[in-house]
Amino acid sequence: MSDNHRDSHPEPGAPRATKNFIEQAIDADLAAGKAAGVFTRFPPEPNGYLHIGHAKSICLNFGLAKSYDGTCNLRFDDTNPSKEETEYVESIQEDVRWLGFQWDNLHYASDYFEQLYQWAEQLVQDGHAYVCDLDAEKTREYRGTLTQPGTNSPYRDRTPEENLELLRKMKAGEFPTGARTLRAKIDMASPNLNLRDPVMYRIMHAHHHRTGDQWCIYPMYDWAHGQSDSIEGITFSICTLEFENHRPLYDWYCRTLGIHHPRQIEFARLNMTYTVMSKRKLLQLVKEKHVNGWDDPRMPTISGLRRRGYTPESIRNFATDVGVAKFNSTIDVIRLENSVREHLNRVAPRRMVVFDPIKLTITNWPEGKVEMVEATNNPEDESAGTRMVPFSGSLLIGSDDFREEAPRKFFRLKKGGAVRLRSGYIIDCHDVVKDASGNVTEILCTYDPETKSGQDESGRKVKGTIHWVSAEQAVKVEVRNYDRLFAVENPEVAGEGQTFLDHLNPDSLTVTEAFAEPELAESKPGDRFQFERLGYYVVDRDSGEQLVFNRVVPLRDSWGKMVAKGKDN
């Protein structure tokens, strides 16, 4: 096992150097014979799209199963028909698969509704559950507060016979929505509010995405989740911290029913800077059209990251990298961006694309001549080979790469200076052409024929290398430069009368036209490239006649940093 994270490019679930607290707990249980193996599950509610936080949980659950040679199920926690939709069921499966995981079994909590009901009758008959007629408001009043104990429901002491009859009538649809509940009979004075006679079933005359109108009573999370785990033979039920207070109830149900008892272990959910992670807020962003759908490349959803150009491998690496603990931390989004940079640096072919172009004419180039020059596809990977790029006397370069007058530290092209054209020749700038208002419209250079890339024996050295395209052969493309969706580290912190929406970054998307080397015309949606000296880009599915590229993430830019700090001269 390597202790070096940098050379670990894990397959799904590959082992890491040190064990996290969950693995240590598993080791202990396994050694003590408390668990027969590692059987986990990923249990999303199909009421929204999966996001990067879920990715952490997916990597954890599937990863644990893989490294311990166990199994991991995908189970939809579909116990609330009013929120759940088939659309979400499908997107979730797609996202899990795309991340590189395959579940051993696909289940739905709704598959267990009948079994759950049988167990409910058992609890009723054993005097562990009762039908309560209190409405929602009264139930809350009777529950007490954080500092005061609750009081017993007046319906708490109904006989098992009476309860059974009422429960059957509830199930048969004889009462309206919200009229009654089935509650576990535990302890209204418990300091843990989850144990103050929690509701097991509520009446909802609603259409369920899978069971249709078969049921009008639906189990609550606590009543469904642990039992579903139990039925599936789950041994370690991994969930997030907010369920910690639910564990005593989880245990109570399994113990009281006398069924297989998985161990629930909680870990801290992922928080990340410059984004929001709650399903409610993500839904709001979509519904109010602050973004263009769930898979908008600015969204932290798996589908958004996919469209943004993130690779599954980079997300898996990120998940392993941030680790698992119980401390409520916030991960710097830079780490996510780094993980995709690190991967794409190794695998993305390089291409030259010019933004905000300015014309550059080579005055000593033979009229009309086009020369094909050889360019390296990826200096990090020799097997990626080379490609041919057309070079001519009429070129386009980025206007950022030229200044008529420039400070000492400006290594790019300036009047009277020289620079290498990537994969081409060294050129010397001797003059510029300006329009009436004094703006440079054309740069005039000569090229040095002795300095052709790959066969340069001139010994000439220049400080800068810039990219370019041949004006005639360049392909016009659309570029969508995405940036962070929010302008502040923690959008949740909003001032008086503000919401997280007030922190949306107005510059999260900048669309521009750019000029690409012709090779790029062949690319298809999903293809990823490094635009040399600029960043990583992916072909968007919106591409048609004209290609559309999304910026995954820019390259590190130490020059830009110097400029920002005023250290550029």
Residues that are catalytic: 45, 269, 279
CA distance 506 to 117: 51
DSSP class of residue 422?
A: T
Measured between alpha carbons, how far is 198 from 466 in angstroms, rounded to an integer? 67
Among 8, 464, 475, 505, binds RNA (CB under 7 A): 464
- String of b and e for 47-64 (b: at least 16 CB within 10 Å)? bbbbbbbbbbbbbbbbbb
Q: How many CA atoms lie within 13 A of 276 on its CB side?
A: 23
How far is the CA of 486 from the CAs of 16, 19, 172, 449, in angstroms? 33, 34, 50, 49
Q: Any contact of residue 181 with RNA (CB under 7 A)?
A: yes
Residues from 492 through 551 that contact RNA (CB under 7 A): 530, 532-533
Question: Is residue 155 close enough to count as binding RNA by CB under 7 A?
Answer: no
> Is 57 among the annotated ligand-binding positions?
yes
- H runs (alpha helix) in 356-397: none
Q: Is 307 annotated as a binding residue?
A: no
Ranges of beta strands (E only) in 323-425 are 350-351, 353-355, 357-362, 370-376, 386-392, 394-398, 402-403, 413-414, 418-421
Stretch that binds RNA, among 113-121, 307-315, 387-395, 552-560 (CB under 7 A): 552-560
Closest CA to 359 of 396, 392, 403: 396
Question: Which of 34, 207, 326, 476 touches RNA by CB under 7 A?
Answer: 326
Asked whether position 450 contacts RNA by CB under 7 A, the answer is no
Question: Using CB under 7 A, which of 34, 207, 476, 561 touches RNA?
Answer: 561
Closest CA to 340 of 116, 537, 132: 537
Q: Residue 2, interface with RNA (CB under 7 A)? A: no
- Rg (Cα) of the chain, in Å, rounded? 31
Question: Is the CB of 146 or the CB of 436 nearer to RNA?
Answer: 146
Length of the chain: 569
Write out the H or E segment, with its range, that includes residue 114. Answer: helix 113-125
- Distance of alpha carbon 323 from its chain centroid, rounded? 16
| Euclidean distance between CA atoms 565 and 562, whole angstroms | 5
Q: Which is nearer to RNA, 132 or 548 (CB)?
A: 132
Between 134 and 548, CB nearer to RNA = 134
489: contact with RNA by CB under 7 A: no
Please identify which residue in 77, 95, 296, 519 interacts with RNA, judged by CB under 7 A: 77
The 10 Å Cβ neighbour count of residue 179 is: 12
Shortest separation between residue 545's beta carbon and RNA, angstroms: 28
Minimum Å distance from CB 566 to RNA? 12
Instruction: Decide: is 490 part of the binding site for RNA (CB under 7 A).
Output: no
The least distance separating RNA from the CB of residue 130, rounded to whole angstroms, comes to 13
Q: Which is nearer to RNA, 92 or 220 (CB)?
A: 220
- The distance of closest approach from Cβ of residue 31 to RNA in the complex, given in angstroms and rounded to an integer, is 12
Number of residues counted as binding RNA (CB under 7 A) = 99
Site for RNA contains 565 (CB under 7 A): yes
Of residues 130 and 296, the one with the C-beta less far from RNA: 130
Map the footprint of RNA across residues 197-226, applying CB under 7 A.
198-199, 202-204, 218-221, 224-225
Smaller CB separation from RNA, 281 or 543: 281
Q: Quick one: 181 or 296, whose CB is closer to RNA? A: 181
Residue among 249, 133, 117, 118 at smallest CA distance from 181: 133
Nearest approach in angstroms of CB 253 to RNA is 14
Q: How many CB atoms lie within 10 A of CB 379?
A: 9
Question: Is 277 labeled as ligand-binding?
Answer: yes
Identify residues 25-64 at the interface with RNA (CB under 7 A). 45
The reply on whether position 452 binds RNA by CB under 7 A is: yes
The 369-408 contact track toward RNA, x by CB under 7 A, reads ---------xxx----------------------------
Is 329 labelled as part of a ligand binding site?
no
User: Minimum Å distance from CB 96 to RNA?
Assistant: 16
Nearer to RNA, 190 or 543 (CB): 190
On whether 52 is known to bind a ligand per the annotation, the reply is yes
Task: CB nearer to RNA: give 261 or 533.
Answer: 533
Residues 79-118 that bind RNA (CB under 7 A): 79-80, 83
Angstrom CA distances, 357 to 397, 417, 439, stand at 5, 19, 13
Q: Which of residues 115-154 bind RNA (CB under 7 A)?
A: 134-136, 139-140, 143, 145-147
Which residues, at least 6 apart from 560, have a Cβ–Cβ distance to it below 8 Å? none
- Options 125, 330, 363, 546; binder of RNA; rule CB under 7 A: 330
**Which residues in the 229-288 window bind RNA by CB under 7 A?**
241-246, 268
Dist CA 225 CA 250 (whole Å): 8
For β-strands 413-414 and 394-398, DSSP reports them as unpaired
- φ, ψ of residue 14 in degrees (nearest 5): -65, 145
Per-residue CA distances from 130 to 69, 121, 180 (Å): 42, 10, 10
- The least CB distance from residue 77 to RNA, in Å, is 3
Residues 8-27 binding RNA (CB under 7 A) are: 18-21, 24
In this chain, which stretch among 116-124, 331-339, 389-397, 427-435 interacts with RNA, using CB under 7 A? 331-339
418-421 and 528-531 as β-strands: parallel, antiparallel, unpaired? Answer: unpaired
DSSP code for 410: -
> What residues are designated binding site for ATP?
45-47, 51-57, 240, 269-270, 277-279
Known binding-site positions for L-glutamine: 77, 221
Annotated binding site: 45-47, 51-57, 77, 221, 240, 269-270, 277-279
